[in-house]
Amino acid sequence: MNRLKPAFARLNKLPRVALIVIGLFLALGSFAPWLAPQDPSAQNLLETGLGPTAAHWLGTDHLGRDTLSRLIIAANTSLVSVGSVLIIAMTVGVAMGTIAGYHRGWVDDLLMRIVDVGLSIPSLITALAVIGIVGPGYWTMVLALSLAWWPMSGRISRAVAVSIMSKPHIEALRVLGASPWRIYFGHLLPGTIGAVMVYATADAGTAALAVATLSFLGLGIQPPTPEWGQMLVDALPYLESDPRQVILPGLALTAAVIGFNILGESIALNRIPKPLSRRTLALRRIEVAGWAKENSDA
């Protein structure tokens, strides 16, 4: 229990909005099958393009499917694929980064050169090139995006690994004759994974965008599995008559991404000094007022 305390303290400092949105996304994604009021792929050609009704709170699409249910199931699609991408990319990235940070020398040079090249090419282009060669499909998409995503975590974990390796206690361990395995698995790896997780979470929004974009282009999640980008492109031909079906999945995706982006920004901005918030200022004023009394009492 005590080990969780610092984690909670850190969570507490992050922007509330971000945590709420991310929490909502996670909950919706995890429990989608139980939350969706109707079968997301049940078509009803007699009830196409409906507005909100008692039966269909957000209306139906051009095939008469319930939009609300599809939006909810799409959260699940998104969560699962983003999760897979990040886990694979992080595993590869952390492995490469820690190896580079542990060995240094030419291994480091080579791996970081690859990372540089990978980072300089937009992830969408990398992913599309892979899909173009291998052919579309769910796992191609996940692998293609992982390939585009690992260099980021590779670079971060290398930086973290290098800083861990240069700490005095690692040097001491070495002198005391700790085995390389113990240093690697006991100290280097856990420390690096912790740091990379934070960045990976903040980056999940971009990954969600990438999944949706590939699906929008017809090269990601394939119908009938609902996905926000794919729902949007499906509804695009009916934009004039039924814009709601375009706007709703767009909003759902944007909301999820905003949550992750707020988180990412708050992490990036931590180091810049800002003026005090009104609340802290008042607290400090009270503190100072207390001193004056103390002194006059004396």
Partner 1 sequence: MIHFISKRLRHSLVLLFMASLVCFTLVVSAPGNVAVLIAELRGAVATPGYVEKVAEEIGLHKPLLMRYAGWLGDAVRGDFGISYRTGQEVSADLPKRMLVTGTLIVGSAVVATLLGLALGFLGAFWPYRLPDRVSRGLALLGASTPTFFVGALMIYGFSVTFQLFPSFGFGGPESWVLPWVTVAVLPAAVLSRVVRVGLEEAMASPFVLTAKSKGLGRTAILFRDALPNIIPVFINALGTQVGLMTATAIIVEPLFAWQGVGDYFLQGVKFRDFMVVQACLLIFLAFFIVVNLIVDLAVLMTDPRVRRQWS
Partner 2 sequence: MHDEPLLNVSNLTVDLLTAKAAVRPVDGVSYTVRQGECLAIVGESGSGKTVMNFAPLGLMPTGVTTNLSGSVRFDGRELIGLPESEIRKVRGKSIGFIFQDPMSALNPVRRVGRQIAEMAELHLKMTPRAAEERALELIKLVGISDPAARLRQFPHELSGGLRQRIVIAIALAGEPKLLIADEPTTALDVTVQAQILRLLKDLQRRLNMAMVLITHDMGVVAGAADNIVVMYAARAAERGPVDKVLVTPRHPYTRGLINAIPRREDPIGSEFRGLPGIPPTLGAPFKGCAFAPRCELAIPACTASRPPLARSADSAVVVACAVVNQRKAAA
Which residues would be at the binding site for partner 1 (CB under 8 A)? 117, 120-125, 128-129, 131-136, 205, 209, 212-213, 216-219, 229, 232-233, 236, 239-240, 243, 246-247, 250, 253-254, 257-258, 261-262, 265, 269, 272-275
122 versus 180: smaller Cβ distance to partner 1:
122
Give me the least distance between CB of 228 and partner 1, in Å please: 8
96 binds, among partner 1, partner 2, none (CB under 5 to 8 A by kind): none
Report residue 26 as tokens: 């996670």
> 237 touches which of partner 1, partner 2, none (CB within 5 to 8 A by kind)?
none
Contact partner, 45, from partner 2, partner 1, none, Cβ < 5-8 Å per class? none
Instruction: Choose the one of partner 2, partner 1, none that binds residue 20, judging by a C-beta under 5 to 8 angstroms depending on kind.
Output: none
CB of 16 to partner 2, least distance (A): 18
- Classified as helix, coil or strand, 2 is coil
Per-residue tokens: 240: 């004039």
Nearer to partner 2, 3 or 16 (CB): 16
120 or 277, CB closer to partner 2?
A: 277
Nearer to partner 2, 251 or 281 (CB): 281
**Token pair in block for residue 160:** 């973290």
The angle formed by the CA atoms of residues 287, 288 and 292, to the nearest 5 degrees, is 120
3-state secondary structure of 121: coil
Closest CA to 17 of 263, 205, 201, 257: 263
Instruction: Return phi, psi of residue 176, to 5°.
Output: -75, -5
Which of partner 1, partner 2, none is residue 123 near (CB under 5 to 8 Å by kind)? partner 1
Does residue 118 contact residue 126 with C-beta atoms inside 8 Å?
Answer: yes
Could you tell which of partner 1, partner 2, none binds residue 219, using a CB distance below 5 to 8 A set by kind?
partner 1
The alpha-carbon radius of gyration of the chain (Å, integer) is 24
Instruction: Determine which helix (DSSP H) or strand (DSSP E) holds 198, and give its type and residue range.
Output: helix 189-216
Cβ distance 228 to 249 under 8 Å?
yes
Nearest CB to partner 2, comparing residues 181 and 291: 291
Tell me how far, at minimum, the Cβ of 266 lies from partner 2, in Å.
14
Residues of the shown chain interacting with partner 2 in the complex, contacts defined by CB under 8 A:
273-276, 280-281, 284-285, 287-288, 291, 294-295, 298
How far apart, in Å, are the Cα atoms of 33 and each of 61, 69, 77? 19, 9, 11
Q: Tell me the C-alpha distance between 203 and 155, whole Å.
A: 14
Nearest distance, CB of residue 285 and partner 2, angstroms:
7
Q: Which is nearer to partner 2, 14 or 92 (CB)?
A: 14
- What is the residue type of 187? H
Alpha-carbon span 24 to 22, nearest angstrom: 5
